[in-house]
Amino acid sequence: MRIVFAGTPDFAVPSLRAAAQRGEVVAAYTQPDRPAGRGRGLAASPVKLEAVARGIPVRQPESLRDAQAQAALRDLAPDLLVVVAYGLILPQAVLDIPRFGCWNVHASLLPRWRGAAPIQRAIQAGDAETGVCLMQMEAGLDTGPVLLEQRTPIAEDETGGRLHDRLAELGAQVLADGLGLLRAGIRPVPRPQPEQGATYARKLDKAEARLDWSRPAEELARTVRAFNPWPVAEATVAGERLRIHGAVALPLAHHAAPGTPLAAGRDGLDVACGQDALRLRVVQRDGGRAITAADWLNARRDLSFG
């Protein structure tokens, strides 16, 4: 079988490894090198680095909408195109090229959380479980029929980063299962997505990372977990801007104004919310590194609590 793989970030790397186990990946498509780091030099994507290490030819078109790019893909004579967080829109003309069409590994239980940030949105919404779907791609945004899926619970303390890594491996497993069936001559049965329960996981925006103390503590705690390691929640605490890397909600009745520091100790700093309180555990000052809230309190001897 001739497989073309299309992906860009770290999330896609385990799936590339799964697809390439039998030497069937004839090319890896990934986004062009982008400026990164303090020097803003061009950096290769994680998928490009993995493909180069495996001796897989890499292609990096700016778009797949023009006829020349589509002809180059057609010349590869792919049986299957596997797409994992590629980041470019695939027009219908591209979806029609492979013999078995295009498969997508998506990090949610479709139709819930279609779109760019399903992992973080699931945590932010307080979902008890999530998973990975292997989907037959069509022209709509994550609307194609589901071929296979795997479910997994979301732990109460799970961050966006940890869930990302777990789902990346789970996605590789689901893809490997699908490829195993296809090699055996069994095409996974497509299951159309129901319209009921469809939600959209919009792209993360740094502006969302600003915590609003008037919101319930549980909601803010979920945001802190979802936005770790990026874009990282931030808030003003005792007049200082802090990035919040770790926090938990406390069922604490109070009459203080939202944002008021209530108590402090070795376990952290409790801040009043619109409902209950948020205990800050790991924070980061401007220009500093992440430290425990207790260490930050040692540097803020000016604070007092009633």
pLDDT digits (tens, 9 = 90+) for 180-235: 999 999 999 999 999 899 999 999 999 999 999 999 999 999 999 999 999 999 99
Among residues 148, 135, 47, 130, the alpha carbon closest in space to that of 90 is found at 135
Is residue 275 scored above 90 in pLDDT?
yes
Task: Select the more confidently predicted residue: 57 or 265.
Answer: 57
Residue 102, pLDDT score: 98
Query: Which pLDDT band holds residue 142 (cuts at 50, 70, 90)?
Result: very high
Among residues 249, 158, 178, the alpha carbon closest in space to that of 1 is found at 178
> What whole-number distance in Å separates Cα of residue 225 and Cα of residue 110?
22
- Give residues with Cβ within 8 angstroms of 243, minimum separation 6: 232, 233, 234, 283, 284, 290
Angle of CA points 240, 245, 247, to nearest 5°: 90
- For the entire predicted model, the pTM comes to 0.95
Q: Which CATH number fits domain 3-201: 3.40.50.2300, 3.40.50.170, 3.40.50.360, 3.90.550.10?
A: 3.40.50.170
Q: Average pLDDT in the 280-284 region?
A: 98
Is residue 243 scored above 70 in pLDDT?
yes
Q: Where in the chain is the domain with CATH 3.10.25.10?
A: 206-299
Is residue 306 scored above 80 in pLDDT?
no
Is residue 20 scored above 90 in pLDDT?
yes
Binding residues: 108-111
pLDDT digits (tens, 9 = 90+) for 99-135: 999 999 999 999 999 999 999 999 999 999 999 999 9
Which stretches of the chain are DSSP H helices? 13-19, 46-53, 67-75, 92-95, 118-124, 160-183, 217-226, 293-299
Is residue 248 scored above 90 in pLDDT?
yes
Phi then psi for residue 302, to 5 deg, are -75, -15
- Answer for the pair 235, 244: CB distance below 8 angstroms, yes or no: yes
Residue 283, pLDDT score: 98
Taking the CB of residue 9, how many other CB atoms lie within 10 A of it?
A: 17
Percent of the chain whose predicted confidence (pLDDT) is above 90: 92
> What whole-number distance in Å separates Cα of residue 199 and Cα of residue 192?
16
Is residue 245 scored above 90 in pLDDT?
yes
Residue 305, pLDDT score: 73
Is residue 36 scored above 90 in pLDDT?
no
Phi then psi for residue 125, to 5 deg, are -80, -10
Task: Identify any residues that bridge with 149 across adjacent strands, giving them in sequence order.
Answer: 133
What is the distance, to the nearest Å, from the Cα of residue 141 to the centroid of all Cα atoms in its chain?
16
C-alpha neighbours within 13 Å on the C-beta side of residue 219: 12
Taking the CB of residue 68, how many other CB atoms lie within 10 A of it?
A: 8
pLDDT digits (tens, 9 = 90+) for 37-48: 777 788 999 999
Q: Average pLDDT in the 60-88 region?
A: 96
Residue 213, pLDDT score: 98
Q: Where in the chain is the domain with CATH 3.40.50.170?
A: 3-201
Is residue 89 scored above 60 in pLDDT?
yes
Binding residues for (6S)-5,6,7,8-tetrahydrofolate: 108-111
Residue 110, pLDDT score: 98
Among residues 227, 238, 290, the alpha carbon closest in space to that of 269 is found at 238
Reported CATH class of domain 206-299: alpha beta
Q: What one-letter code names the amino acid at 303?
A: L
Q: Report how far apart, in Å, the C-alpha atoms of 79 and of each of 18, 39, 110, 114, 192 are.
A: 16, 41, 25, 26, 22
Is residue 302 scored above 90 in pLDDT?
no
Q: Report how far apart, in Å, the C-alpha atoms of 187 and of each of 77, 181, 182, 183, 207 are.
A: 19, 6, 5, 9, 44
Strand, coil or helix: 23? coil
- Which class for 302: exposed (0-12), middle (13-18), buried (19 or more C-beta within 10 A)? exposed
Percent of the chain whose predicted confidence (pLDDT) is above 70: 100
